[in-house]
Structure 1
Amino acid sequence: MVTADIPAVLTLDQRCLGGLWTRSGYERELDSEHSDLLVILKSNSLELLNCRLTQASTQLGAATNSDGDRNPINRNARFTANTQIDSGAPSKPSPIRREQKIELLGVGCLWAILEEAHITTLAIDPSYQGERLGLWLLSHLLQKACDRSLTHATLEVRASNHPALSLYQKFGFEEAGRRKRYYADGEDARILWRSGLQSADCIAQINRHQTQSMRQLKQKQNYRFYPEDLHLIQSLEQKV
Structure 2
Amino acid sequence: MVSLLGPKYDLFWPHREELPQFAQLDQQCLGGMWTLAGYEREWDSDHSVLLGIRLIARGNLVAMGAFWQILEEAHITLLAVAQAHRRQGLGKILLQNLLATAEHRQLERATLEVRASNQAAMDLYHQFGFQLAGCRKRYYPDGEDALILWKNHLSSPA
Match of 1:19 in 2: 32
Match of 1:102 in 2: 59
- Which has the larger Rg? 1
Higher relative strand content:
2
Cα separation, 1, equivalents of 2:19 and 2:44? 13
Cα separation, 1, equivalents of 2:102 and 2:70? 10
1:41 to 31, 34, 54: 54
Q: What RMSD in Å do the two structures reach over aligned CA positions?
A: 0.9
1:102 aligns to what SS in structure 2?
Answer: coil
Match of 2:116 in 1: 159
Work out whether 1:140 is the aligned partner of 2:88.
no
Match of 2:44 in 1: 31
Counterpart mapping for 1:60-99 below 5 A: none
Work out whether 1:196 is the aligned partner of 2:153.
yes
Counterpart mapping for 1:46-65 below 5 A: none
2:107 to 150, 164, 173: 150
2:39 aligns to what SS in structure 1?
Answer: helix
Deviation at 1:18, TM superposition (A): 1.2
Match of 1:111 in 2: 68
Q: Which structure is richer in relative contact order (CA contacts within 8 A, separation 6 or more)? A: 1
1:181 aligns to what SS in structure 2?
Answer: coil
- Percent identity over the alignment? 52
Q: In structure 2, what residue type is equivalent to 1:36? A: V
Q: In structure 2, what residue type is equivalent to 1:110? A: F
The 10-residue stretch of structure 1 (35-44 or 130-139) with the greater mean CA deviation from structure 2: 35-44
2:63 aligns to what SS in structure 1?
Answer: strand
Cα separation, 2, equivalents of 1:138 and 1:160? 19
Match of 2:79 in 1: 122
Cα separation, 1, equivalents of 2:119 and 2:42? 28
Q: In structure 1, what residue type is equivalent to 2:94? A: L
Deviation at 1:168, TM superposition (A): 0.3
TM-score, normalised to structure 1, is: 0.59
TM-score, normalised to structure 2, is: 0.89
Deviation at 1:24, TM superposition (A): 1.1
Q: Which runs of 5+ in 1 are unaligned?
A: 45-100, 206-240
Cα separation, 2, equivalents of 1:18 and 1:164? 17
Deviation at 1:43, TM superposition (A): 2.4
User: Which ranges of 4 or more aligned residues in structure 1 deviate by more than 6 Å?
Assistant: none
Deviation at 1:5, TM superposition (A): 1.6
1:184 aligns to what SS in structure 2?
Answer: coil
